Structure formats: structure tokens, C-alpha cells
Structure 1
């Protein structure tokens, strides 16, 4: 298994999906076939300062509405925490401007309850696609003789593992829309 060690939460978000974003690719395909009018993509950054977060979110929404003339937006993000909060603030700003919004978010709730899946839940943002990170699934690992890692500290950590969650495996959970996991409410 290819296990990630370069992300704090072991999210496994490969550079490939930033360069070949599945949702942007699908929107462009729909644009080419005449089924949608894809007007562009807006890259924003996350901030741990509330004033910067609100400014960045407002600017992203304003660009979508006034510069691109978008009727709707699809929001994705990297990881969670501040990016998650920023994404929902951007969604609120877009909805306030009349731009319909869909937010793609990952289910990181450790209790696997639908009510816990969203960090932010508002009536204004009501089109949310939640993909699972498989936090309730565990893969049992066999003992391995050899570990190849970027440094000895990572090798030591990996040598003691007996199970992994899907989020720790490269390519399983994907915040850009390439994930094959999906949460199911029973």
C-alpha cells in the first residue's frame, strides 16, 4: 500500500488532482457538449484569521457573480478545519448574491452520524455533497519485512501499524471529486 505521510491528516490529496481537477474536467466536458455554460474556476486560499477569511470568501463570491457572471458555483477544498469554514463562508456569500451553490465536503465525523458530518450547517447552503473518508472502515495490515519511507521517523511510525483507515491510503479519499467512497445513511 502507498501510505501518505505528507499531510497532517493523511488526506492523500495528490498534486495530480489539482492539475486535473475531476469536477472542473466534467464541467468543461458539459460545456463542450452544450449542456452547461462553464465560465471558469476561481482559486482562493484559506486563512486562520476571521477578517481575512471573510474578505477572501467575499472576493471569491464577487468574482463569481460580477466578473464571471456565474449562475451557480461548485465549491471544493483541501482538507478540513479552516478550509472547510472558508468554503461555507464563500457559499453563504454566493447565496447572498443569488449565485446557487453546491459544496463538496468530506465526512470526517468520527461517530459516523449524518448529523455530525458537517462542520457548518446552514439553511442558506442546502446543496451539499458529502463524500466519505471511510473513518469507520479499517484495513488490517499484515506484517511487512521492508518499509520505504522519506525518513526514519516515518518508517518507525509505519512499522508499528496494524490497521489503517481509507483516508491514510493514497488516492482513496479525494476532496476534488475523484473519490469512490460514499456515505450511506441506514
Structure 2
């Protein structure tokens, strides 16, 4: 259990965000609900949160030996109905934009994981290819990001990642040069 650490000037005590090698869904929900404080770049709340667990995150290894992260999203009627119901009638598929956002989300959590604090933002993306789809028969979507460039610490810390999205083990999306940043927020005006 984490100790409660009240951030300076904040009357509410927050749990401390821990640098771990994996995270379960309750921990990710606590992060998205800002239980670790407002100085961490946010993750979206469900249903927009695109993973149920981060199964591995590391500052070493990966395709460029600069770090990587792997997360998974379970496809169930409870988790995926919100997009299958509307996209598309009689031909339900997960919007490709959610795969893109999942890569941004996973790349984005890498910066606070190594210690960046401030306002998070998507910066740019190089491009990608779509080779398959997520349908109601799918079971697990896996997101993987490999860090190819890192600028930290900085007033605008950035990470650039290449992403791969698989569905039930089959490669469906490849993306490259997705950049995410964390702009530090000083209290002085």
C-alpha cells in the first residue's frame, strides 16, 4: 500500500505514483481519476481508456534500446459495446482512431513513468498502416510502443514511439514516429 503524500498547496492527500514494471486495471483507473495528483499528465477515463492493463514497461530494451511498453485491452460486450453499437450498423468494427489513441495513451504514460510532471499532449505522428480490424469476435487487442527518441528532463519533455497493435496475436496496425510531450508547469507567473 502506498503512503499518502499531500502535494504542496493541495489540501487533498494523494497516493504516490509508483514506477512499476506493470499496472493492473484498478491502478490505471486510479491514475485516470487523478488519485496520484494533478501534476501527472492525465489518462482518459473509461470508456476512452484504451487498455485494461500494462503488462510490461521498461526504460531499456525495445527496438531501439530506449524503452518500450506493452498494454492490453479486453474486447467484451461490456467494454466494447460503446463503439461497436455505432461503428457501423450491421458491420461493427472498432474505429481505427481508437487504435491510434491507444498508441498515444501508452506512449504518453511513458513520460510520467520516468518522472515527467506537467500537462500532457499529443504532438505529432509520422504515419501508419492499417492491415486488419477489431470485430465483436475479437478477444484481446495488444498495444506495443518502442521508444525511438527521448528528451527528458526538459521544460517540454518528449517521447517519440513506434507503435504496433495486434488483435488476438495478428498485426493489424503499424505506426511510426508518434510524439507525446509533457510541458512542465511552474507555479511562478
Q: TM-score, normalised by structure 1?
A: 0.28
Computing the radius of gyration from Cα coordinates, the structure with the larger value is: 1
Q: Which protein has the bigger helix share?
A: 1
Q: TM-score, normalised by structure 2?
A: 0.28
Q: Of the two structures, which has the highest relative contact order with CA contacts closer than 8 Å and spacing of 6 or more?
A: 1
